[in-house]
Amino acid sequence: MFIATVILSALLAIGFALASLPKVSAADSMVAELGRLGVSDGRVRLIGALEFLGAAGLVIGLWIGPLGVAAATGLVLLMAGAVVYHLKAHDSAKKTVPSLVLLLLSAIALVLRAASL
């Protein structure tokens, strides 16, 4: 089961780290997209930083179990918030499903990491 945890954590870490870059740098397209959802400009960088820290926490958490659990929990909460924002904005399924998939994968990573402690 730990091998599944490693693979999922690594894939999620790569995905979240890459997704964080345009947010941390406050790329115009990202600020506009999140602004459309009702996210303020200042929170765009915060979300990016949290995604990056979550990605780092997943990787480091492979050696320090409680950190991995905490990072996965944070990413679950972050993605739950993203889904809520998409639903409040009445976004299409095409725009909402990626956040929902990341929510579910983060929840699976959380369960796997907690089970392997």
Helix, strand, coil % in the chain, rounded to nearest 5: 85, 0, 15
Q: Would you say residue 111 has pLDDT above 90?
A: yes
CB 109 within 8 A of CB 5: yes
Q: How far is CA 84 from the centre of its chain?
A: 14
Hey, where are the domains in the chain?
Answer: 2-115
- What are the pLDDT digits (tens) for 19-40? 999 999 988 899 999 999 999 9
Please report the pLDDT score of residue 1 as a whole number.
86
Q: What is the pLDDT of residue 34?
A: 93
Per-residue pLDDT, averaged over 11-17, amounts to 98
pLDDT in the model for residue 14: 98
Q: For residue range 54-106, what is the model confidence (pLDDT) as tens digits?
A: 999 999 999 999 999 999 999 999 999 999 999 999 999 999 999 999 999 99
